[in-house]
Chain A
Amino acid sequence: MKKETSTTTDAELLPSAVPFWRDPEKRAIIFQIVALLLVACVSYYLFTNTQANLDRQSIATGFGFLDKEAGFEIGESVIDYSAADTYAKALLVGALNTVKVSFIGIVLTIILGTFIGISRLSTNWLVAKLAGGYIELMQNIPVLLQLFFWYAIFYESFPSPRQALNPFTGVFLCNRGLIFAVPAANPAYAGMGWAFLAALAIGWGLNRWGRQRQARTGQIFPAVRVTIALVIVLPLLVWLGYGAPTAMNMPELQGFNFKGGLTVTPEFSALLLGLVFYTAAFVAEIVRAGIQSVGRGQVEAAMSIGLYPGQVLHLVILPQALRVIIPPMTSQMLNLTKNSSLAIAIGFADFVAVTNTTINQTGQAIEGVALIMLIYLFFSLSTSLFMNWYNKKMALVER
Chain B
Amino acid sequence: MSAPATTPTREYLKPPVTEVGVIGWLHANLFNSWFNSILTIVMLLVLWQLVPPFFSWAFIDSVWNSPAEACRDIDGACWSVIPQNISFIVFGFFPDGQQWRPGIAMLLLIALVIYSKDRKHWKKSLGVYWLVGLIVMGTLMYGGVFGMPVVETDQWSGLPLTFMLALFGMVAAYPLGVMLALGRRSKMPAIKTLCVIYIEMIRGVPLISLLFMSSVMFPLFLPEGVTIDKVLRAQVAIIMFTAAYIAEVVRGGLQAMPRGQFEAADSLGLNYNQTMRLIILPQALKIVIPPSLGILLSAFKDTSLVVIIALYDVLKTTKVTLSNPKWTGYSTEAYIALAIFYFICCYAMSSYSRKLEKALHTGR
**7 additional A-B residue pairs with CB within 8 Å, beyond A32-B190, A137-B343:** A35-B190, A53-B222, A140-B343, A144-B304, A344-B208, A359-B212, A372-B205
Q: Which of A36, A39, A125, A145 has the most CB of B within 10 A?
A: A145
- Looking at the assembled complex, report how far the CB atom of A145 sits from the nearest CB atom of chain B, in whole angstroms: 6
**Other-chain contact of A141, B201, B206, B331, B342 (Cβ < 8 Å):** B342
Size bin of chain B's contact surface: 35 or more
A217 at the interface (CB under 8 A from B): no
A39 and B307 alpha carbons, distance in the complex (Å): 32
A373 pairs with B201, CB closer than 8 A: yes
Choose the segment among A73-81, A176-184, A375-383, A388-396 that binds chain B (4+ C-beta atoms closer than 8 Å): A375-383
A326 at the interface (CB under 8 A from B): no
Total A-B Cβ pairs within 8 A: 155
A376 pairs with B301, CB closer than 8 A: no
* A124-B29, A124-B36, A152-B332 known; A136 vs B208 contact (CB < 8 Å): no
A141 pairs with B209, CB closer than 8 A: no
- Looking at the assembled complex, report how far the CB atom of B295 sits from the nearest CB atom of chain A, in whole angstroms: 13
Choose the segment among A107-115, A251-259, A299-307, A334-342 that binds chain B (4+ C-beta atoms closer than 8 Å): A334-342
**Other-chain contact of A372, B209, B308, B338 (Cβ < 8 Å):** B209
Chain A: residues with Cβ within 8 Å of the partner, total of 56
A112 and B52 alpha carbons, distance in the complex (Å): 26
Choose the segment among B1-9, B39-47, B88-96 that binds chain A (4+ C-beta atoms closer than 8 Å): B39-47
Give chain A's interface residues, CB within 8 Å of chain B.
28, 31-33, 35-36, 39, 46, 49-50, 52-54, 56, 122-127, 130, 136-137, 139-146, 148-149, 152-153, 156-157, 338-339, 341-342, 344-345, 352, 356, 359, 365-366, 368-369, 372-373, 376-377, 380-381
Considering the complex, give the chain A residue whose CB is closest to the CB of B187.
A28
Considering the complex, give the chain A residue whose CB is closest to the CB of B223.
A49
- Looking at the assembled complex, report how far the CB atom of B305 sits from the nearest CB atom of chain A, in whole angstroms: 6
A369 pairs with B315, CB closer than 8 A: no
A372 and B216 alpha carbons, distance in the complex (Å): 13
Considering the complex, give the chain A residue whose CB is closest to the CB of B36.
A124
- Looking at the assembled complex, report how far the CB atom of A363 sits from the nearest CB atom of chain B, in whole angstroms: 9
Q: Which residues of chain B from 156 to 206 have a CB within 8 Å of any chain A CB?
A: 187-191, 194, 201, 203-206
**Other-chain contact of B220, A50, A156, A372 (Cβ < 8 Å):** A50
A130 and B47 alpha carbons, distance in the complex (Å): 10
**Which 9 pairs from chain A and chain B are nearest by CB?**
A152-B331, A125-B29, A140-B346, A32-B190, A338-B206, A380-B204, A142-B301, A365-B216, A341-B206
Q: Which residues of chain B from 208 to 228 have a CB within 8 Å of any chain A CB?
A: 208-209, 212-213, 216-217, 219-224
A365 pairs with B217, CB closer than 8 A: yes
B36 pairs with A342, CB closer than 8 A: no
Considering the complex, give the chain A residue whose CB is closest to the CB of B213.
A369
A interface, over-half SS? helix
Cβ contacts under 8 Å, B206 to chain A: 338-339, 341, 352, 376
- Looking at the assembled complex, report how far the CB atom of B205 sits from the nearest CB atom of chain A, in whole angstroms: 5
A338 and B305 alpha carbons, distance in the complex (Å): 13
- Looking at the assembled complex, report how far the CB atom of A386 sits from the nearest CB atom of chain B, in whole angstroms: 15
A-B contact list, 7 entries, CB within 8 Å: A124-B40, A124-B43, A141-B343, A142-B301, A142-B302, A156-B332, A365-B216
B335 pairs with A49, CB closer than 8 A: no
- Looking at the assembled complex, report how far the CB atom of A354 sits from the nearest CB atom of chain B, in whole angstroms: 13
B352 at the interface (CB under 8 A from A): no
Cβ contacts under 8 Å, B308 to chain A: 342, 344-345
A143 pairs with B301, CB closer than 8 A: yes
Cβ contacts under 8 Å, B329 to chain A: 156
- Looking at the assembled complex, report how far the CB atom of B204 sits from the nearest CB atom of chain A, in whole angstroms: 4
A123 pairs with B216, CB closer than 8 A: no
Cβ contacts under 8 Å, B223 to chain A: 49, 52
* A35-B190, A53-B224, A148-B335 known; A123 vs B209 contact (CB < 8 Å): no
A356 and B204 alpha carbons, distance in the complex (Å): 19
A342 pairs with B332, CB closer than 8 A: no
